[in-house]
Structure 1
Amino acid sequence: MSTFLYGGNVQANGIRQHYLRYGGSGPALLLIPGITSPAITWGFVAEVFGQHFDTWVLDVRGRGLSSSGEGLDYGTESCAEDINAFAAALGLQNYHLLGHSMGARFIMRAAVLQPAPVLSLALIDPPVSGPGRRAYPGKWPWYVDSIRQSLSGISGEAMREYCPTWSEVQRNLRAEWLHTCYEPAIRRAYDDFHQLDIHQYFPQLPAKTLLMAAGKGGVIQPEDEAEIRTLLPTIEITHAANAGHMIPWDDFDGFFAAFGTFYGQPLTPGAHL
């Protein structure tokens, strides 16, 4: 049985923010996707979180059905402020934050800006690149070439060139929604991966924090984990050993298993907290 409730829009931080809601009971959890992932592409993950949490999946500005186009700031600061304004607009008093890749960077900054409501942070394979650091392994042409193709229409089969390991359903969904990813927004986020060092935020994180690294992603290396432990000794670090950067796409069960008991007990798909 699906846990999906409805999609909606809210005016927050001066823009329209679109969201999908799953579950509707239990503690609130805000899920912030990665750089070219509209909210709907995380639906198969949110279905499981909806069994345990009142789950809200956001379309980050410049993606999906949220505000987009010229005249908006797509930098980390504005996107982090969007998260806090979204929670306030919906009257969420306390909530867990979960972010993948770019979304993990955004929730870190959001929690530093507004620490009081945050119950926990789950950082899913965040880029740890930055000035003077190892470059993010994802290359810009992979993003821009597929986005530009999608603007004139791309099939799920053609998407196989970019996502060869994904299922047909996953490729079709990406083909349907990728055109909503506004190229300047994606470029700003990608540039921030290399120009903004998130290590400054680790010592300031206000709640228990999980860092999940993809075993085959190349984003977080053992030396990165060691540095992060010095910055936040209480951090829980776990691994999805058989997955690349898009962890739940590569290993659905392994993704949930990697949370361990971070949320109190295992997040086994089909089970309830």
Structure 2
Amino acid sequence: MSLGTGGAIRANEIRQHYFHFAGHGPRILIVPGIVSPAILWSDVGSWLAKDHDCFVLDVRGRGLSESGAHLDYGIDSCAKDVAAFIRGMQLGPTVVIGHSMGARIALRMAAYDPEFVRSLVLVDPPTSGPGRRAYPVPIARTLGLLRAAHRGQGAEALRTSTAAPWPENLQRLRAEWLSTCDERAVYAAYEDFHSQDMFADLAKTRLPVSLICAGEGGVVSEADVEEMRQLRPDMLTVRLEGAGHQMQAEDFAGFIRVLGEVLIRQFQSEERSRS
């Protein structure tokens, strides 16, 4: 596994850290989930670099990006971070892949600041919101893992967790890097999961959008998919059966297979629209 080349810039008035997996081809930016520092996406970044130029962002309050009580961890600030990062790095039109919380951030950014976004790939976005069912991953479980990592007991907590196990190399990285996540950022994300409406953002988005759903875990139901299709009939949808919410770690081979198919179909669609 290549860890890529790390770097940081000041964008949207904060330090934003990233890993770059240099390659030739369309630019891709990955925005990870609620307690997933960028380093945990190194396997995916290395694979994408075969045909793409890939960046993975540490969302504020995670990894080596800026954190602290002075920061607003709400979705609007995070979305502005992503837009400012793309502009600051001069990436040009970029395919943005968002996982979980990162999908909601990417969707909010694309709805209101789409200038440099080529297309979106939403990976198992939480569909909770006002008047909707709750996000199925309880905050107590997330906070329990995070607090254990802050005590230096992350590896033990992950071994006894009820969540699906990760490969050993990623599990070690996860235990080490969980402690970089700010608990305040977790509370803000869960609050936004239930107070913000991702379907309204999807309705505003005019960019090409694709959806990859986990087969297990119940984050995106078939009813959710149907509602999204009503808003965006052109949305490409794939469900990875047998994999849970952290499908990029639980079933890496399956995940890169469906992600590769989605990207190829997106680019083919762009070619047809230009011809």
**Do these two structures clear the TM 0.5 threshold for a shared fold by scoring above it?**
yes
Amino acid at match of 2:10: Q
Counterpart contact for 1:98–1:123, Cα < 8 Å: yes
Matches within 5 A, 1:209-224: 209-224=209-224
Please list the CA deviations of residues 96-131 of structure 1 after superposition, one character each: whole Å capped at 9, or x if unmatched: 000000000000011112223211100000000001
Counterpart contact for 1:216–1:243, Cα < 8 Å: yes
1:203 aligns with 2:217: no
Amino acid at match of 1:101: S
Aligned residue for 1:24, secondary structure, equals coil
Q: State the 1:177 CA deviation.
A: 0.5
- In structure 2, what is the equivalent of residue 179 of structure 1? 179
Amino acid at match of 2:45: A
Counterpart contact for 2:44–2:256, Cα < 8 Å: no
Kindly tell me: are residues 176 and 202 of structure 1, through their superposed partners in 2, closer, same or farther at Cα, counting changes over 3 Å?
same
TM-score, normalised via structure 2 length: 0.92
- In structure 1, what is the equivalent of residue 112 of structure 2? 113
- In structure 2, what is the equivalent of residue 45 of structure 1? 44
Which is further off, 251-260 or 18-27?
A: 251-260
Aligned residue for 1:264, secondary structure, equals helix
Please list the CA deviations of residues 15-72 of structure 1 after superposition, one character each: whole Å capped at 9, or x if unmatched: 0000000023211111000000000011111111111211010000000000001110
Q: State the 1:5 CA deviation.
A: 4.2
Quick one: distance in 2 between partners of 1:4 and 1:155? Answer: 21
Counterpart contact for 1:3–1:51, Cα < 8 Å: no
- The structure 1 segments of at least 4 consecutive aligned residues displaced by more than 4 Å after TM superposition are 2-5
Matched residues, number: 265
- In structure 2, what is the equivalent of residue 150 of structure 1? 149
Quick one: distance in 1 between partners of 2:259 and 2:43? Answer: 17
Amino acid at match of 1:29: I
- In structure 2, what is the equivalent of residue 170 of structure 1? 170
- In structure 1, what is the equivalent of residue 33 of structure 2? 34
- In structure 2, what is the equivalent of residue 124 of structure 1? 123
Unaligned runs of 5+ in 2: 267-275
Unaligned runs of 5+ in 1: 267-273
Q: State the 1:139 CA deviation.
A: 0.3
Quick one: distance in 1 between partners of 2:62 and 2:226? Answer: 34
Aligned residue for 1:206, secondary structure, equals coil
Counterpart contact for 2:214–2:241, Cα < 8 Å: yes
CA RMSD after TM alignment: 1.6
Aligned residue for 2:85, secondary structure, equals helix
Which is further off, 185-194 or 253-262?
A: 253-262
Counterpart contact for 2:145–2:154, Cα < 8 Å: no
Matches within 5 A, 1:45-124: 45-124=44-123
Aligned residue for 1:177, secondary structure, equals helix
Q: State the 1:265 CA deviation.
A: 6.2
Counterpart contact for 1:17–1:66, Cα < 8 Å: yes
Aligned residue for 1:142, secondary structure, equals helix
- In structure 1, what is the equivalent of residue 5 of structure 2? 6
Amino acid at match of 2:262: F
Quick one: distance in 2 between partners of 1:19 and 1:238? Answer: 28
Counterpart contact for 1:98–1:121, Cα < 8 Å: yes
- In structure 1, what is the equivalent of residue 190 of structure 2? 190
Quick one: distance in 2 between partners of 1:8 and 1:211? Answer: 29
Kindly tell me: are residues 26 and 167 of structure 1, through their superposed partners in 2, closer, same or farther at Cα, counting changes over 3 Å?
same
Counterpart contact for 1:213–1:220, Cα < 8 Å: yes
Percent of paired sites with the same residue = 43
Counterpart contact for 1:23–1:52, Cα < 8 Å: no
Counterpart contact for 2:74–2:188, Cα < 8 Å: yes
